[in-house]
Chains A and B, each alone.
Chain A
Amino acid sequence: SQQGEEDPQALSIQEGENATMNCSYKTSINNLQWYRQNSGRGLVHLILIRSNEREKHSGRLRVTLDTSKKSSSLLITASRAADTASYFCATDESNQGGKLIFGQGTELSVKP
C-alpha cells in the first residue's frame, strides 16, 4: 500500500476560497513534498518541508507538518481557476536511500 494517504480525494470550491488538503503517512521521513499535476501531464514540485520543520510558506501555499501525528496539510489561499489540478504528497523515507513514495492525490476543482 502507498505511504501517503490523502484526504479528501476530491475537492470543489469557488474562486477566492481557500483549499486545504491533508496527507497522512506511516514511517519516519526525511522530508515531505507536495506536487501538482495538470491532467495527464508531468508533476511539478510545489514545496518541500523537512522533518525538523513545522510550517513553510511559498506564495499562496502554506504547508504544515506534524511528525508526531505523521500528517501534513497543504493550504492554498485565495484559489484561482488555474489552481484546478491534482495535488500529491510524497514522502522521502528515512534510511531508504531517498525512496520517494506518493499518495493517491487530491483532485481540486476551482470554479470561476
Chain B
Amino acid sequence: NAGVTQTPKFQVLKTGQSMTLQCAQDMNHNSMYWYRQDPGMGLRLIYYSASEGTTDKGEVPNGYNVSRLNKREFSLRLESAAPSQTSVYFCASSAGQGRAFFGQGTRLTVV
C-alpha cells in the first residue's frame, strides 16, 4: 500500500519556468491537500479539494493552480516560478474529518 506518492522529490527551476507537482493516493480518499513548508512557518495550505471535481483556495494560493484530475490525483502547477516559491511542498489526503496522510515532500528551489 503506497499511501500518498509525490513526484518529483527534488526540483530546481529558474525564475519564470513552469512545472507541475504530481500527487496520487491509493486510499480512496475524498479530500486532498497541497501545503508548503518554509522554515519557522509550519505548513501553510495552498489549495485543497474536498471531492473529485472541486477545489478551494487555502491560505496562500497566489501563484499556484491545481487540478483534481480524478479521485486519486491532485496536481499543483506553478505557471511562472519565483524565488519566493522556494519551499518544501507536501501533498496529503484524508477521508474527510479524519486523519491526513502525507507524502514525503518535494524540495523545490527557484533560482
Binding site for B on A (CB under 8 A): 2, 30-31, 33, 35, 40-45, 48, 88, 90, 92, 97-105
CB-based contact B35/A97 at 8 Å: no
How big is chain B's contact interface, by range?
A: 20 to 34
Chain A residues with CB below 8 A from B98, complex form: 48
One of B42, B48, B54, B56 near A102 (C-beta < 8 A): B42
Chain A residues with CB below 8 A from B101, complex form: 45
- Complex: A41 Cα to B104 Cα, angstroms: 6
Chain A residues with CB below 8 A from B103, complex form: 42
Binding site for A on B (CB under 8 A): 30-31, 33, 35, 40-45, 48, 50-51, 54, 56, 58-59, 88, 90, 92, 94, 96-105
CB-based contact A99/B58 at 8 Å: yes
A44 to chain B, nearest CB (A): 8
Please count the residue pairs between chain A and chain B whose beta carbons lie under 8 angstroms apart in the complex: 70
CB-based contact A33/B105 at 8 Å: no
- Complex: A30 Cα to B94 Cα, angstroms: 14
CB-based contact A88/B56 at 8 Å: no
Chain B residues with CB below 8 A from A99, complex form: 45, 48, 56, 58
One of A44, A45, A48, A104 near B41 (C-beta < 8 A): A104
Chain B residues with CB below 8 A from A92, complex form: 97
By beta carbon, the residue of chain B nearest A99 is: B48
B92 to chain A, nearest CB (A): 8
One of A2, A42, A45, A97 near B90 (C-beta < 8 A): A42
Given A2-B59, A30-B97, A31-B97, check contact A100 B48 (CB 8 Å): yes
Chain B residues with CB below 8 A from A104, complex form: 40-42
Chain A residues with CB below 8 A from B51, complex form: 97
